[in-house]
Amino acid sequence: MKQKTLRVLLVEDNEGDARLLREMFGKESPNSFEMTHVSNMREAVIRLAKGGVDIVLLDLGLPDAYGLQSVQQARAAAPGIPLIVLTGMDDEALAAEAMKAGAQDYLIKGQVENRALPRALRHAIEHHRIQVETTYLAQHDAVTNLPNRLVLNDRISQAISLARRRKTLTAVVFLDLDRFKYINDSLGHAIGDRLLQSVALRLVASVRDSDTVTRQGGDEFLILLSEIAGSQDAAKSAKRILLSLTAPHFIGEHELHIDGSIGISVYPVDGEDAETLIKNADTAMYHAKENGRNNFQYFTAEMNVKVVARQSLEASLRRALERQEFLLHYQPKVNLNTGEITSVEALIRWQHPDRGLVSPAEFVPIAEDSGLILPIGRWVLREACRQARAWQDAGLPPIPVAVNVSSAEFRKTDFVEGVRTILKETGLEARYLELELTEGVLMDDAKFTASVLQELKGMGIRLAADDFGTGYSSLSYLREFPIDILKIDRSFINQITADCDGSTIVDAIISMGKSLKHVVVAEGIETQEQRAYLQAHHCQEGQGYLFSRPLPAPQFAALLQTG
């Protein structure tokens, strides 16, 4: 393979030395080098500005620049071009200082051999290339090729200085992808990395060229919005970012859905340095997660108090399982026409030693974010199956027990085997187990979901689409997936009136369920009027306080005994 002709700029005021170097190149490699000669730094800067130079040979004793000054000027004129300095025998110490200032090598005049010169130039170019690559890798994320936290800190500091002078604002946006870990765990890191790359492209396209998008590791991205007129500009950017994530990501054979939670901090109100702004944006992001995910929140001072409380609750949650602080309550599902109990849903409760019963709405999101939902979910499934079998052994009417399954559990590669193991250990027949999954869980990766559901269905387990109507509500996935039960979300039941959009949605879901031969269950029934409406529209089953609150196992056994 033919070597590239290297374009050398020689900066040398001694014509004799310059002629000697030209002769060396001509004798050893006449076609490998193309030399341009200038005699002072002013001419060198002009020539470098034109481009087309691969390496600079620089004399340290020029008429208009001497020693380190000449190195500094050459580096400033062409920071991306490798540099070799030329020095006399008495200036070797100076040459070593020039290396520290950015030169790749030095040559001592009078000691350069014909063969050594081309080799030294190529070595310097290769050394410079490695330096550039090393610097780039140190400043960029290996997966997405985005700048990393090191670059971001520097750019935030620059943006703050500019905002201070111009009396403008600067914002930091902290984005965390919701439930990315579950995709990584179920489909592998290769698919996860490609999803991160797809997200990175969308983020860059969602902001201005003057803004900076960085990846902080895992599923976290930080975005610097430099020079904004007001905090509303940050909100507009956050909305664009969230909107950019809504379309599915097609990774290989997988159609992946993912959204994010965003926290925003603004200079100077929320911090006057990079560290504080990033920390406060992170805090605001956690509040976005607590507010249902897929939204953005501005930082407020009150959030710090909540963060401390959340950290304390998470620490307690980590000990709750080993201390046996969890328990299950059971809420019946009934036939709306006869009132007969048809099945029961197991609902987790946390008996905190100091705070008493902690609402699942308060601790389940923390369990999901921390990964604790996996061991907790496994405990719920085992305990619910054990209790259902115990009721049967006590002679009570056998009814299915329903267990909610989180995305983290469902995406685990050993989920199906874990269910099979628990059924075997507890002795519960598969037909007496219902697994409830939200639309978000079902649609994260339709192909993967379909294969897992088919395995579960093949075991004889009943499958329910929970909170139906709040997510994708896609007829196509209902046809594709082996769903047995549709559970209408309680928010629609609360809106039932004679002429209300909520009633229209309920009617549509009931009709859809009937056409697909699904059992339709209405959640959150609290009044006789709601029950009457659902009966009139042929909804088969219901669940809610009208029939019974969730009960501890002994009380539910008594309810089951009476039917």
Domain with CATH 3.40.50.2300 in the chain: 6-139
Mean pLDDT score, 253-277:
92
In the Cβ-directed half-sphere of 499, how many Cα atoms lie within 13 Å? 0
pLDDT in tens, 344-367: 999 999 999 888 888 888 898 888
Residue-averaged pLDDT of the chain: 87
| pLDDT for position 1 | 43
Structural class in CATH, domain 149-300: alpha beta
pLDDT in tens, 17-40: 888 888 777 665 556 778 899 999
Q: Which CATH number fits domain 314-562: 3.20.20.70, 1.20.140.10, 3.20.20.450, 3.30.920.30?
A: 3.20.20.450
pLDDT in tens, 301-332: 788 777 777 778 888 998 998 899 999 999 99
| pLDDT for position 101 | 83
Whole-model pTM over 0.85:
no
| pLDDT for position 427 | 97
Looking at the predicted structure, is the pLDDT value of residue 387 above 50?
yes
| Three-class SS state of 410 | helix
| pLDDT for position 29 | 58
Looking at the predicted structure, is the pLDDT value of residue 477 above 70?
no
Report which listed range, 47-51, 171-175, 360-364, is most confident.
171-175
Q: Place 94 in a pLDDT band, splitting at 50, 70 and 90.
A: confident
Mean pLDDT score, 133-141:
78
| pLDDT for position 278 | 94
Looking at residue 397, the DSSP 8-state letter turns out to be P
Pick 111 or 430 by higher pLDDT. Answer: 430
- Pick the closest to residue 257 from 193, 200, 188, 180 (CA basis): 180
Sign of CA dihedral 135, 138, 143, 147: negative
Looking at the predicted structure, is the pLDDT value of residue 89 above 80?
no
Of 144-148, 343-347, 405-409, 469-473, least confident by mean pLDDT is 469-473
| pLDDT for position 169 | 93
Pick 20 or 540 by higher pLDDT. Answer: 540
CA distance 339 to 426: 29
CA distance 74 to 12: 13
| pLDDT for position 552 | 95
CA distance 431 to 115: 83
Answer whether 550's CB lies under 8 Å from 347's CB. yes
Q: Place 297 in a pLDDT band, splitting at 50, 70 and 90.
A: very high
Looking at the predicted structure, is the pLDDT value of residue 410 above 50?
yes
Mean pLDDT score, 440-449:
80
Looking at the predicted structure, is the pLDDT value of residue 377 above 90?
yes
Residue 124 CB contacts under 8 Å (≥ 6 apart), including other chains = 55, 82, 83, 84, 104, 105
Pick 562 or 194 by higher pLDDT. Answer: 194
- Pick the closest to residue 84 from 66, 108, 64 (CA basis): 108
Cα 506 to Cα 219, 469, 470, distances in angstroms: 37, 9, 12
Domain with CATH 3.30.70.270 in the chain: 149-300
The dotted CATH code for 6-139 is 3.40.50.2300
Looking at the predicted structure, is the pLDDT value of residue 466 above 80?
yes
Q: Place 502 in a pLDDT band, splitting at 50, 70 and 90.
A: low
| pLDDT for position 115 | 59
CA distance 445 to 258: 10
Pick 512 or 121 by higher pLDDT. Answer: 512
Amino acid at 431: R
